[in-house]
Amino acid sequence: MSTSDLIAPAAGLTAAEVESRTAEGRTNAFVPDSSRSIWSILRANVLTLFNGIVVACFLVLLIIGRWQDALFGVSALANAVIGTVQEYRAKRALDRLALVNAPHARVLRDGEEQDIAIGTVVEGDVAVLRAGDQIPADGAVFSSLGLQVDESMLTGESEPVEKTPGDEVLSGSIVVGGEGRAVVVRVGAASFANTLAQEAKRFSLVASELRSSINRVLRWVAWIIGPVFLLVLNAQMVAQGGWGPAIESGTWRDAAVATIASVVAMIPLGLVLMTSITFAVGAVKLSRQQVLVQELPAVEGLARVDLICLDKTGTLTQGDIVFDGAHPLVERPGWEEVLAWYGVQNDANATARSLVGSFTLQPASAPSGRVAFSSARKWSAVVFDDGMWILGAPEMVFPQGSAELLSRASELAASGRRTLVLAHGSPTDDETVPADAEAVVLLTFRENIRPDARETLDYFAEQGVSVRVISGDNPQTVAAIARDVGLDAPSGFDARHLPDDQGGLIRVLDENVVFGRVTPDQKKRIVIALKTAGHVVAMTGDGVNDALAIKEADIGVAMNSGAAATKAVARLVLLDGKFSHLPRVVAEGRQVIANIERVSMLFLTKTAYATFLAVVFGALMLPFPFLPRQLSVIDGLTIGLPAFFLALLPNKQRYVPGFLRRSLTFAVPAGAVVTLGLSLYALAGSAWRIPEAEIRTGATLILTIVGLWILVVLSRPVTRFKSFVIGAMMIGLVLVFSIPLVRDFLQLVDPTLPTAVLVLVVSAGSIGLIEIVRFVHRRVAARDSLRATEERAAAVARAEDGVEG
């Protein structure tokens, strides 16, 4: 259907027409992947380069008859299965939430307005559009009453566009003012930007510091694993007497086993698994708190937030506007009827609807014209026989008004009440306030403060998260409410006086907490300026006027009761609208990134020492001191099992940039310490002619003891639960050496006195060096924290000076 063929049925489509078009497939039921598909989850967890290497090594061991050394294959399989199951469970949980909270459309059918699922809109439907609605499908306007559409999410143009009959409206754009009706001309995949495409973000693994850092490490390992493999294989063949003799005697099998042991140990498979699990578990845990995570890495991003911007309505207050009282200024009959008319209009906002209970007598005649409300001008108007009535913010209707009027309005606003003025004047033709406009009555409204607002803001203060309240209401009204919830806000800043330059804007944002009369575009400017100043910004809100700022923020948080547009661009949706969930959300983000950092040091230490051991033993032409089965058990006791528990423990540590650098600052020196100890042990054992089986036993003991000590170091402060986990791993070590069946399977033997002495000396020396490494690492971490603070201060200074950082 094209706009030129537009036919607008007065009563909308009939049920028979809808059924016919549905049968023909002319519906809006185009549903892109609302979350990761099962195939993409399997591909991400199974079909990877390193899984391919592991499977190849596993098959080689099976072919040469050394299945006992192929335990790592079972471990890799378990990693893939666990990762797949966890992500699939998270996918199902989030899909169910999204289904329940999917947006709806309002259409006219059989002469009646109906709310229907967006997917059931059909071509030719008459869409009824009102302020706050997201347009469900492409359409052509055939009636408009001040219809204004925000197409910024589609075109990048932030200014609302006036729509008149014959104009086109696009799916995904937002009605920000007035009302109208449009015939749907394109649906489903043919529409310009189907609104359900917003849901595709919900489970996308977008860029994050954790993922990008881990992927960088994997790329490094991928580049070096081939040369290291050849180096170690050559060394092991030489250790078996040379390539020719080893192949003739069959001892090449031992060389292959040792080479596979060194290569598999280099791959941090568990780190990828733990990151996926932690993200998925975090998202599911938040879903149980009625928080829908639309992008998994948003869980991580929350840990970085150091400033949160709040919209007053729906966040600090419950959003239910209650009419407080009327304060007449002059004698002008008819104002009560005008207020009654405002209260019952289809596009009436919450403020206007609150008038219904107090003003019931409607005007005797219908209006002859009107000016729809605009969030930019903050007033609306209606024309009756007796003239033009304007309802809006006093300082916007009368920007040059009398000092007495504005003083009286300011006095009422300072008490925490929202103040509007109803004025009267001669009708105008250009949607401007009449020059002869006269203020007739001041109206005051109250908002109920959320009972959980103060407690939530106290939490942010304790965590060092700054707060800015940005609202479209009177700044003094907003400041009064902010004071009621515990914020230090002696006054509010009027956003109409915000500086145009970036430096001046940042200075004002730094000096004030509350901002009123903020337009949607200014909210976006504020968020951008705060980000420029070095802050990681979260933005909460529920109205259409919050959508641009929420989209621009590092983390956008929307209330489920809010406009479809706001929820569409937010990364988190508070499904029950409770502001009190935010502390748990922030805490979950901090737990994720802090625990992954700790776990990453375990896995990267293993990768570091495995790489160093392979290179050193390859260069020195020494037999590799481990069998793959022995490394599998060591990994399980010192990394795999404890990491699973550590990754899910509570952790309130504040995020500091530089995750990978800090992790490597510990992992590389710790890996070097382990390599040094094992190399000295192997050289001494070779010099003292200790049997190979005994050397492997001692090396297994050293690596397990030092690995457990690294676990202790990274677990500090050691809580009762951590002590239980570490103790269980130590008991596991004792059982490995005590149970004959296990010991025989791992080819462990009783060490002689020289070996025991070597093990004790090397272990003690390595532990001492690990403590030094941790001391230096903590100094580096503290320096990182200080540098982050200084860089943020420097960014603020640069921004204030107007210099781009």
| Residues identified as active-site | 311
What is the spatial distance between Cα 150 and Cα 549, in angstroms, rounded to a whole number? 13
208 three-state secondary structure: coil
Which ranges of 495-640 does DSSP label H, i.e. alpha helix? 502-511, 520-532, 547-552, 564-569, 582-619, 628-635
Exposure of 641 by Cβ count < 10 A (0-12 exposed, 13-18 middle, 19+ buried)?
A: middle
What is the spatial distance between Cα 434 and Cα 377, in angstroms, rounded to a whole number? 14
What is the spatial distance between Cα 529 and Cα 504, in angstroms, rounded to a whole number? 10
What amino acid is encoded at 441 in this protein?
V
Sign of the C-alpha dihedral, residues 288, 293, 296, 302? negative
- Residues facing residue 149 across a β-bridge: 161, 175
Pairing relationship of beta strands 317-328 and 555-559 according to DSSP bridges: unpaired
What is the spatial distance between Cα 264 and Cα 346, in angstroms, rounded to a whole number? 67
325 three-state secondary structure: strand
What is the spatial distance between Cα 442 and Cα 412, in angstroms, rounded to a whole number? 9
Exposure of 765 by Cβ count < 10 A (0-12 exposed, 13-18 middle, 19+ buried)?
A: middle
Q: For residue 497, which of 477, 482, 512 has the smallest C-alpha distance?
A: 512
Count of helices and strands (H, E) across the chain: 28, 21
Pairing relationship of beta strands 379-384 and 369-371 according to DSSP bridges: antiparallel
Q: Do 535 and 464 touch, CB atoms closer than 8 A?
A: no
CA distances from 668 to 224, 607, 662 (A): 15, 9, 10
What is the spatial distance between Cα 442 and Cα 426, in angstroms, rounded to a whole number? 19
Please report which helix (H) or strand (E) contains residue 176, including its range.
strand 174-186
What is the spatial distance between Cα 283 and Cα 134, in angstroms, rounded to a whole number? 26
Q: Do 448 and 503 touch, CB atoms closer than 8 A?
A: no
Backbone angles phi, psi at 354, to 5 degrees: -70, -10
What is the spatial distance between Cα 555 and Cα 308, in angstroms, rounded to a whole number? 9
What is the spatial distance between Cα 736 and Cα 723, in angstroms, rounded to a whole number? 20
Q: Do 36 and 87 touch, CB atoms closer than 8 A?
A: yes
Other beta carbons less than 10 A from residue 166's beta carbon: 12
Q: Which residue has the tokens 């014209």?
A: 369
Backbone angles phi, psi at 326, to 5 degrees: -110, 140
Side by side, which strands form the sheet with 418-425? 317-328, 438-449, 418-425, 387-392, 379-384, 369-371
Q: Which residue has the tokens 């537009």?
A: 6
CA distances from 369 to 131, 339, 386, 556 (A): 18, 16, 12, 38
Other beta carbons less than 10 A from residue 745's beta carbon: 14
CA distances from 233 to 79, 218, 626 (A): 27, 22, 14
What is the spatial distance between Cα 429 and Cα 370, in angstroms, rounded to a whole number? 10
- List of residues 6+ apart from 417 with CB closer than 8 A: 324, 444, 445, 446, 477
Sign of the C-alpha dihedral, residues 612, 613, 619, 620? positive
Q: Do 695 and 583 touch, CB atoms closer than 8 A?
A: no
Q: Do 653 and 589 touch, CB atoms closer than 8 A?
A: no
Pairing relationship of beta strands 161-162 and 168-169 according to DSSP bridges: unpaired
